[in-house]
Homo-oligomer: A and B are copies of this chain.
């Protein structure tokens, strides 16, 4: 099957979620991603991160599937020489260091581009490499916080609400992968590498949708409003007998079909609900609006099941679907049919389930995955390709500059 990014070699210094997620996406599409791990600290800290058992980490197994591992101490002069040889053979260097770390190791962009002018240097940070917070440590949560998104997620009477998973890392990670692809496209013409940089805080700001435009045009301010929307109504989540259901109705024809399906024809002639805008105005029960639409629908949905909703709404093209728990999502027939849950036999911990590939491309096998690498598994193999002989390698092992898998064999 086609490996779209076949022939693209990535030297990967990332750890943590965002950068590792970006290079995972590149590896999924066929790039040769080579992790550079530090022997002094036992390699990537993800190897020791929860969820884990005595054999290793499932977090590491997921984010590093299909990658290679070379163990080299970048802080030593000899390590830096080896890394320059590897960078000379590569297309992309990716890291997640704050400003200055690679420069301190004499591996900054200026130096790597002398070795290899075609190299693309891609880096990710929380707050970005310039600006007044450039030296601040940032993580997923601080990027979500800075961008304002927490303050509009949740309910009026709860506090600001973070996403249930690391959304800033993941959103920023896909941006970084897209940026690397853009730079690869540009290099086809220019023959030159470039620097690509993504801050997860910047990415999360672009997740604020049309809020800035609305504030700028209409002076609108934004607060936590729960799951409902007054711009499209009913665009909301409701409890049903066996869980929750999401429904999004904007056009009048959808509305009329919906009322028929719900056996609520008596609302057809209610002038409050004559169109989308008006349904938004009279959505919540409040002073001057007894029996708001939200309340009426809440009551009606409590009498139904997820399956009944689907059977009624699907043939009528009413945008709707079940709100699954995480456990239900893994078992969902639609997501299964899309190969979105897969099992990989990890070399360290055995078979483990993980999420699949969301970009479907003709000819690309979305079930063709290999294990994450063991620490230093590919050290000897790659150093040989850049002309390091066995004797030299053994000396480097004894000097703690490099490490093979399993010690110094």
Contact = CB atoms under 8 A, between A and B. Distances in A.
Interface stretch (A67-75, A261-269, A289-297, A318-326): A318-326
A278 B164 CA distance: 22
B319 A165 contact: no
B353 A216 contact: yes
A5 B135 CA distance: 32
A215 B329 CA distance: 12
A147 B170 CA distance: 15
A30 B199 CA distance: 21
B326 A221 contact: yes
Interface stretch (A50-58, A374-382, A398-406): A50-58
Q: Which of A62, A159, A164, A198 has the most CB of B within 10 A?
A: A164
Contacts of A140: 248
B154 A17 contact: no
Contact of A358 (B149, B175, B245): B175
A80 interface: no
A362 to B, nearest CB: 4
Interface in A198-245: 198-199, 201-203, 205-218, 220-222, 224-227, 231, 235-237, 239, 244-245
B167 A161 contact: no
B334 A146 contact: yes
A184 B178 CA distance: 12
Interface string A74-87: 00000000000000
Contacts of A162: 153, 227, 237, 246
A160 to B, nearest CB: 6
Interface stretch (A32-40, A100-108, A188-196, A388-396): A188-196
Interface string A120-164: 000000111011110111111111111111111111001111111
Given A147-B329, A208-B165, A179 B359 contact: yes
Taking each of A159, A314, A343, which has the highest tally of chain B beta carbons within 10 Å of its own beta carbon? A159
Contacts of A177: 178
Contacts of A184: 181, 185
A370 interface: no
A132 B334 contact: yes
Given A131-B337, A154-B164, A319 B139 contact: yes
Contacts of A310: 136
Contacts of A143: 321
Contact of A182 (B4, B183, B208): B4
Interface of A: 2, 4-5, 8, 17, 25, 29, 50-53, 58-59, 61-62, 126-128, 130-133, 135-155, 158-167, 170-172, 174-179, 181-186, 188, 194-199, 201-203, 205-218, 220-222, 224-227, 231, 235-237, 239, 244-248, 310, 314, 317-330, 332-338, 340-341, 343, 349, 351-356, 358-363
